[in-house]
Amino acid sequence: MDYSGFPFYPSPDPSSSGTTSPQDSVNAMRGQGDGSDLSQTAIPASPLLDPPDDATVSITFGPSLRDDDRLPDSIIVSSNHVYFYIHRHRIITASSNGFDGLFYDVEHIYGGSLPTILCREVGDTLNIVLHIIYGMSSLHYFPALQTVDNAFTAMIKYGIPIEPHAAPHQQLYQLLLSNAPYHPIDTFALAASHGLEDIAVIASGHLLSFDMSRLTDELVTKIGPVYLKRLILLHQDRMTALRHILLQAPRTHSPMPGCRDGQQGLLIREWALATAQLAWDATPSKGISANSLRLHLENIGEKIACEGCRRMLVERIHGVCYAWSLVKQTI
């Protein structure tokens, strides 16, 4: 993820009087930073736990973040030194395993100004996880799908159930669906790998023209047999439905003066030829749309002189387009 889109406080600037480093942020929050108003949690920072020079603090999870009017009582630090000031009870409540056990025995790393947990994940990943724990949307960060994927992995590790947060209109649901139009197969694979039915169904709607030959072994493994079968059947069923729709030729009209020389027979033959070619060529990867069907079939009209026959052709083309629009578009 591009950090330019991730609004951290900037790293400490020696030339600036700003209070932007993790330690300065805490001091500033408490007053003048002189230690005169330290609470019982304000144990002097251990040299080993002093923030590194490249440390940044999450703006959302900064030291002044209040939860029920309480200030943060712990810090989570990512592998790339992003500091998240959090409320311990929030984490404990959301996690079924004490955040991978890190919060079971938090006092042993009590060395900084607040109890500090070090995590292996990068800031982008933890940012999503913490937003989910706090019930806040992280959609405005536009996280990459890989970051969302990493957040899923982290949630499993930290004992945070995925499914409730991926229900319609929940944070994960919105994060995944925002990626679906741009990365449909990866979104589908991620949703399928976690059994997130609603999201997999919606993502499949973006895969109607997906070329299955592009599936890598990794994707196939991730999607799994059940959802892969459903995607294959979706493609097959749509092609079968298309051929069935095209089989029906235009109606014939009542005898009329302008229709001579076997025009009605010609229309039926031309329809058969055109649709046979369509049905033969049709594959999901060609992205068959109602409009492309219409354009292809309208060419038949150029060979038909009778106005009555042309009306029958137009009527049938409308019927084809309508019927095609009703064919199932998701798994």
Give contact residues for Zn ion (rule: CB under 5 A). Answer: 259, 263, 306, 308-309
The nearest distance, CB 222 to Zn ion, in angstroms, is 55
**Residue type, position 291, single letter:** N
Closest CB to Zn ion among 220 and 256? Answer: 256
Dihedral (CA of 128, 130, 132, 137) sign: negative
> Which CB sits closer to Zn ion, 194 or 253?
253
Nearest to 331 by CA among 220, 189, 169, 183: 189
Greatest Cα pair distance, the chain, in angstroms, is 105
Helix (H, G, I), strand (E, B) or coil at 35: coil
Angle between helices 171-179 and 123-133 (to 10 degrees): 130
Q: Which is nearer to Zn ion, 281 or 315 (CB)?
A: 315
Residue 304 CB, shortest distance to Zn ion, in Å, is 7
| Least spacing, CB of residue 278 vs Zn ion, in Å | 23
Q: How far is the CB of 298 from Zn ion (least distance, A)?
A: 17
| CB of residue 310 to Zn ion, shortest distance in Å | 8
Give 141 or 271: the residue with its C-beta nearer to Zn ion: 271
Of 89, 93, 72, 91, which Cα lies nearest the Cα of 22?
A: 72
C-beta of residue 137 within 8 angstroms of C-beta of residue 131: yes
Q: Write down the least CB distance from residue 236 to Zn ion, Å.
A: 37
* Cβ closest to Zn ion, residue 12 vs residue 308: 308
Residue from 30, 104, 109, 37 nearest 75 by CA: 109
Residue 48: both structure tokens together? 């080993």
- φ, ψ dihedrals at 249, nearest 5°: -85, 165
Nearer to Zn ion, 125 or 263 (CB): 263
Alpha carbon distance 190, 199 (integer Å) = 9
Q: What are phi and psi of 77, to 5 degrees?
A: -115, 130
